[in-house]
Structure 1
Amino acid sequence: MHKIEDYNTLPILNIANYLNLFINTSNKTTCFLHKEKNPSLSFNTALNYWHCFGCGAGGTVIDLVIKYKGYSFIQACQWLDKNFAKFNNNDIQNKNRNIENKFNTSIEKKIYTNTNKKIYKWIINNLKLSDEAFKYLNKQRKLKTNIIEQLKIADIKQTDTFFKKAIERWGIKKLVNAGLIKIDRDNDRKKLRFIWRDNVIIFPFYDEQEEIVYLQARRISNLQPKYINLYNVQPQLYNLNILNRLKAGDRLCICEGVIDAITLYQYNYNSIGVPGVFNFNKNWIEKFIKYQIYIVPDNDIAGINFADGMNKLFMENGKLITLIKLPISRKDANDYFAHFSN
């Protein structure tokens, strides 16, 4: 038998392919744990994890085998051990890569590779922050008024009305390309729907050129998922423009989410946020090599996976990082600082 960590370092796409999961070119597939028409189960090859944005399931290679085959932990390890050499073979190819299935259309390829900065800027310029959204950010999450205003956080209450205005200004095709309209398929028919359908707070993401390159929404209600990313557009890093004021050797915190990054920022810690555990692109590593990196994960399983994955990525690039462990009673950085601000 191999060690547990050996099983979890097996290429996760190789395991998924062997389990006959039909993976598209964006490393996504329909989740086998619930019914759905569009793929919401995503594989992160950099961190070697899987996650379903529909039902929230996810985890390591072993977790995938347990969930898919209904095995116990020991049975899953035995199954992986039996086929270890085969699974570790990098020549295994995804037999579905060349299949033009319903998830691999020219439209989706275009959506995935394009963002529209002008649309994102227009959205932020045409929104304000309601009293309800401000109360949530200021009273519940303890974010300061000047920080909220500085970062141009806004919200949408009447989403249908706003999107009608957006369609009149930009047209459906551009909104689709910007990831603001999702294409659902019902048999051979296409249906268009807006990704934001209830009251959401909008966080603009700025790049190093101070341009808005991404938007993430956060529901004020308790509906799931709490955070809504743009559809088929590569997520970006939050607060990346902070790099403009840093010099080599400065400290930089990397958090799991937007609100944690804002919280650290308002307490004078240089910080950026990753919009979801599985959304860190290994090609971004070069941006951070010259800084002292501090990883600030949440106190949950996803946080452990995030910390392990980030440590692995930086170690592969010869960079040592520091892991910040929060008290077990605090679930994340925002919860930690909010607790002591009361």
Structure 2
Amino acid sequence: MISPETIKKLHELNCEDVARRLGLEVNMHQAHCFMHQDKRPSLAFKNNLWKCFACDKGGDAISLVEEKCNLSFVEACTWLCEQYHIYMPSTNLKNTKKRPKLRHRRTLVIDREGSRPDFDGDVASAIINLADLEAKGKEFLFTERKLSAQVVEKMKIKSVEDSTKMKEILMNTFDEERLIKCKVLKRDNNKIQLTINIPSLLIPYFDRTGKLVALQSRYLGTNENIPRFKMLCNSRKQLYNMVLLAKLQEGNKLYIMEGITDCLAMLSAGYPAVAIQSATTIPETELDKLSGFDLVMVHDNDKAGVSAFYHLHRSLLRYGCRLKCATIPALFKDYSAYYLYLKK
């Protein structure tokens, strides 16, 4: 198995130099794509990444060698190590076409406050069923972000803009202590208050079977001291839109977006997408579910976005998954901004 340190060194190689070593004629950071007939150069290079804007393929130095030479991951890494004199322990290449049996790293978690409460699906379902998509939610989703109404309805996104109304309905349905335990209500100076910041979107998470597994709020107000996102009802961090995976076939392209709004924009544009909340906090069990798909990440145009791509790329390698990179024009900070430009 190739060490993470070696993979990191290979990932950081300059793709333009690698392309020249592979025999490509590179001029002004561009070349003719070797994967299709290319009258004009559509293959672009930037630092340690490459991208073809005609066939929509891209990635790092490792994936470039894999695609150009039809090599396996291990074979491509071996070739690069030989080219750049990077030390790598000898590897038996006889069976590199087979996916290795991987051992998943186990993490010991010390819980000093006792076991974490379970997600309260009944309360979360009630919140979604009782809520509507109200004025401020519609303004944000449709007027500001220009998202598809069909996508928003399909994802069952609602909003809450009246804390008193929501609190009264919940307290008439569930025991007060239960609502406090799942952190939907809180006691503050002997008063019972709703913990959902007003106004907020309500974003449900479903697993592949359509079962509700998490609930998140997205604050729509202007108070900068209030966190924008909050997990509700003891929800754990999940991949968003996992129900989509049941509709895809093995080998289908699947876009991984940074954040819910980018994911909704990609879905509104007609592309299959899931979302991560953070590349560094995705549960190991969630990553394994992405195995078998043609994974492409559209990261934000900043250092944090590039770092998120690299971290997720390394994490997915442990599950036999290779993550490609799709870049957006540098003028736009994220896919949502690019989507708004395309909608003009």
2:247 corresponds to = 245
For the structure 1 residues 171 and 276, does the alpha-carbon distance in structure 2 shift closer, same or farther, using more than 3 Å as the test?
farther
How is 1:33-112 mapped onto 2 (pairs within 5 angstroms)? 97=110, 100=112, 104=113, 106=114, 109-111=115-117
Unaligned runs of at least 5 residues, structure 1: 9-92
2:311 is equivalent to residue 312 of structure 1:
no
**Distance in structure 1 (CA, Å) of the matches to 2:286 and 2:309:** 16
In 2, are the aligned partners of 1:141 and 1:334 still within 8 Å (CA)?
yes
Partner residue of 1:153 out of 157, 179, 182: 157
Alpha-carbon displacement from aligned partner over 1:7-38 (angstroms, at most 9, x marks no partner)? x9xxxxxxxxxxxxxxxxxxxxxxxxxxxxxx
1:204 corresponds to = 204
2:218 is equivalent to residue 218 of structure 1:
yes
1:331 corresponds to = 333
Alpha-carbon displacement from aligned partner over 1:169-218 (angstroms, at most 9, x marks no partner)? 1123332444424689xxxx999753313211111111112122111111
State the SS of the aligned residue for 1:329: coil
Alpha-carbon displacement from aligned partner over 1:257-286 (angstroms, at most 9, x marks no partner)? 111111111222111112344431122222
1:286 corresponds to = 288
Shift of 1:292: 0.5
Shift of 1:310: 0.3
Shift of 1:137: 0.6
State the SS of the aligned residue for 1:336: helix
2:198 is equivalent to residue 194 of structure 1:
no
Q: Percent identity?
A: 21
In 1, are the aligned partners of 2:217 and 2:230 still within 8 Å (CA)?
yes
1:256 corresponds to = 258
In 1, are the aligned partners of 2:213 and 2:235 still within 8 Å (CA)?
no
Alpha-carbon displacement from aligned partner over 1:139-193 (angstroms, at most 9, x marks no partner)? 1111022222222211111113312321221123332444424689xxxx99975
**Distance in structure 1 (CA, Å) of the matches to 2:166 and 2:243:** 28
In 2, are the aligned partners of 1:237 and 1:275 still within 8 Å (CA)?
yes
- Scaled by the length of structure 2, what TM-score is found? 0.63
State the SS of the aligned residue for 1:295: strand
Question: How large is the RMSD of aligned CA atoms in angstroms?
Answer: 3.0
Alpha-carbon displacement from aligned partner over 1:283-318 (angstroms, at most 9, x marks no partner)? 222211100101121223332231121011012233
**Distance in structure 2 (CA, Å) of the matches to 1:237 and 1:262:** 13
How many pairs were matched up? 240
For the structure 1 residues 273 and 200, does the alpha-carbon distance in structure 2 shift closer, same or farther, using more than 3 Å as the test?
same
Partner residue of 1:119 out of 117, 120, 123: 123
Alpha-carbon displacement from aligned partner over 1:102-149 (angstroms, at most 9, x marks no partner)? xx1x4xx342xx112222221111111112210111111110222222
The amino acid across from 2:120 in the alignment is: N
**Distance in structure 2 (CA, Å) of the matches to 1:313 and 1:160:** 44
**Distance in structure 2 (CA, Å) of the matches to 1:191 and 1:308:** 46
Decide which moves more: 165-174 or 140-149: 165-174
The amino acid across from 1:236 in the alignment is: Q
